[in-house]
Chains A and B, each alone.
Chain A
């Protein structure tokens, strides 16, 4: 039996003005378990708190009920008081007789009646309270960043800067991501490589950062502070630590007809390759799909020309297991496939390209060495049509396209149009838009400059059809403001393709038990207040894996994610919320219902041997809640058919006791 002390606060006249506090403390004196009851002017004051401490000592109290203001106001205060008095802080319950009683009721009789009932409910609950201790778990002081684009790079650099070791896992042979493929960056037009490659070098040279390139995460176990991750390092058939990146092998390799993915297939590379000049790590990789030596054992040229002796045709995939305290997802985006958009003739004509391909065409390191030549005949295009919103902002029911705005297209199209007009003033540039969306610092100014200073023709309307005819592309489009249908003979058509999360994101989310939206973007723990955290504790989001983003936004989110990781890794131990779910293994059916509703992936199952009443043993599947991951929402408790799952601090019996006390 508990020994409960009741302390009714006057809150000056805030409570005492409408509630007869003496009557409340008298009435509660007779409740079961109550051994002491009093009232005082300001319970939260030092004197009031001392009164509680004295009463605990004098009456050997095991539980405390404070009838006062909202628990959201002073629950923490009174819990500290309880702890100081030597009882468990979770043996305190607050009856809210100010915000939810004296302040909303005017009549002394009804106010007092209700206050007594609220006090009784709190007493009934405390009778069933048990001391709770927050769980503690250690923190592995190492972070994992999945994805080596600008988001991953920035996050890793910021974490390493705070002194914590970081590993980057990148599935391509080099880090750099999409930004490495870009030409110039809006709105300042500095070259992407000039600002990105120094960061890549910083990553390579930072002794806190390890890069696992050409690798992917294959398994994640554990929970916040204690993740066990398996990383699969694909065989690149080149010893990474020996290769100097001299490039001799790539020159001598006889197999030179491999579509170069870095230039989006617009030119070719050799079977052994370094993706681009500033690659990090600058190490060659053999493409096993094209290498003659690996396919049929006939060649071996690269091995002969390699002065360092780095080539190893026998290399195997390697699995690395590592522990991490925090995981940052930075898996980025890809332009969507244009296969379903027949009307734009993307698959019929080489001169209909996506904006990312246009980036490579204008990039000095691209297939045309930066000269704007159209892919089909390498002639200079004189009329270029840009089409915006290709596959963005589509109806949810439509079979093609995405429902969301891809956010970056308006700005990069303005950039492309402006740069084209700047370099080639003899070119007519048309941009077909539905809306021009340019929120962002100096963004709208940038777009206006494209129109006003560079003479780009912005036309409100959409392109309906592109037909290749001879060496021209017949573009049929709407000009909605002029209410005309336009027919333009274009030399080049550039499609602002919608962007979508990388395909690797969905299986990764499953491994991390991190939630995703229907578009496969990772969801945030809170859309406004916790935008860089996943609901799964210890998993953080950086860059476009969370939603379409431009570079400045990505970098700021990357920094924010890093600071969250640093905050986590700076702790030696994680203290959990003790009000978590727990399953009574004797009653658990192992039916997996609770696991399905848990938003945090806190519930796992194990097979456990039980001694049965008939003295046999049986192995039963039972649910186990990880208290470090559980956030205490209680959803599982209702989903559980047998009632095995219960929530500490808000147990079934406690809530029912409150209901009973109120309804008596």
Chain B
């Protein structure tokens, strides 16, 4: 039986003002990172509802990462501070439910940090790939 090479699926939510621009800069500088990372543009990291994160996992994502402006630099002054609290609590809860903590991450990436964006995505993708397929978030009944 031929084993198909496992490729993780990673959803990255990037705020329009800093992190999406940081991702563009990574592109401008041709800094490569795995194609497994798919970016969704949101106006601000605070637009990301925990439901979106869960939805991604539900639909088979292996890792979800949120990127926003550095604290204090939010285009909307305070959005990322709320993100920080929401995601801290959500991630802690996922960890509490026994879901591998390496599958979730929040990273602050400014529009000037193309290199940081690429490095972050490389690192995150590597960690998620090491965990293998996301099984814990699948249907409990079917696995019994």
Direct touch of chains A and B (CB < 8 A): yes
Complex contact A638–B86 (CB within 8 A): yes
- Give the complex CA separation of A292 and B39 in angstroms: 75
- Give the complex CA separation of A110 and B35 in angstroms: 7
The segment from B24-32, B100-108, B124-132 found at the interface with A is: B24-32
- Asked whether any CB of chain A lies closer than 8 Å to the CB of B42, the reply is yes
A interface, size bucket: 35 or more
Q: Mark B11-43, 1 if CB is under 8 A from A, else 0.
A: 100001000110110111011110100111111
Residues of A within 8 A of B51 (CB): 652, 656
- Give the complex CA separation of A527 and B73 in angstroms: 8
Complex contact A659–B55 (CB within 8 A): yes
Looking at chain A's contact residues, the main secondary structure is helix
- Give the complex CA separation of A664 and B60 in angstroms: 8
- Give the complex CA separation of A42 and B54 in angstroms: 38
For A111, give its contact among B33, B35, B49, B59 (CB under 8 Å).
B35
Chain B residue with Cβ nearest A649 = B43
Instruction: State how many angstroms separate the Cβ of A540 from the closest Cβ of chain B.
Output: 16
Contacts A117-B38, A121-B38, A659-B11 given; indicate if A535 touches B49 (C-beta within 8 A): no
- Give the complex CA separation of A130 and B61 in angstroms: 28
Contacts A72-B24, A114-B38, A638-B48 given; indicate if A579 touches B43 (C-beta within 8 A): yes
Count B interface residues, CB 8 Å.
43
- Give the complex CA separation of A12 and B127 in angstroms: 35
Complex contact A525–B77 (CB within 8 A): yes
Contacts A659-B59, A660-B59 given; indicate if A523 touches B77 (C-beta within 8 A): yes
For A663, give its contact among B23, B31, B60 (CB under 8 Å).
B60
Residues of A within 8 A of B47 (CB): 633-635, 637-638, 647, 650, 655
Instruction: State how many angstroms separate the Cβ of B22 from the closest Cβ of chain A.
Output: 10
Chain B residue with Cβ nearest A638 = B49
Residues of B within 8 A of A579 (CB): 43
Residues of A within 8 A of B35 (CB): 101, 105, 107, 110-111, 113-114
Of listed B35, B43, B44, B118, residue having the most chain A CB within 10 A: B35
Instruction: State how many angstroms separate the Cβ of B129 from the closest Cβ of chain A.
Output: 14
Instruction: State how many angstroms separate the Cβ of B35 from the closest Cβ of chain A.
Output: 4
- Asked whether any CB of chain A lies closer than 8 Å to the CB of B65, the reply is no
Total number of residue pairs linking A and B with CB closer than 8 Å: 133
- Asked whether any CB of chain B lies closer than 8 Å to the CB of A103, the reply is yes
Residues of A within 8 A of B49 (CB): 637-638, 652, 655
- Asked whether any CB of chain B lies closer than 8 Å to the CB of A357, the reply is no
- Give the complex CA separation of A208 and B51 in angstroms: 54
- Give the complex CA separation of A526 and B9 in angstroms: 36
Contacts A99-B27, A639-B82 given; indicate if A662 touches B77 (C-beta within 8 A): no
Complex contact A104–B118 (CB within 8 A): yes
Q: Mark A615-640, 1 if CB is under 8 A from B, else 0.
A: 00000000000000001111101110
Complex contact A599–B78 (CB within 8 A): yes
Chain B residue with Cβ nearest A114 = B35
- Give the complex CA separation of A638 and B76 in angstroms: 15
Complex contact A633–B11 (CB within 8 A): no
Chain B residues at the A interface, C-beta cutoff of 8 Å: 9, 11, 16, 20-21, 23-24, 26-28, 30-33, 35, 38-44, 46-52, 55-56, 59-61, 72, 75-79, 82, 86, 118
Chain A residues at the B interface, C-beta cutoff of 8 Å: 70-72, 96, 98-101, 103-107, 110-111, 113-114, 117-118, 121, 515, 523, 525-527, 535, 579, 597, 599, 631-635, 637-639, 647, 650, 652, 655-656, 658-660, 662-664
21 pairs, CB–CB < 8 Å, chain A vs chain B: A70-B20, A96-B39, A103-B30, A104-B26, A104-B27, A104-B32, A117-B38, A597-B46, A632-B43, A635-B47, A635-B82, A638-B47, A638-B50, A647-B47, A650-B47, A655-B47, A659-B59, A660-B55, A660-B59, A663-B59, A663-B60
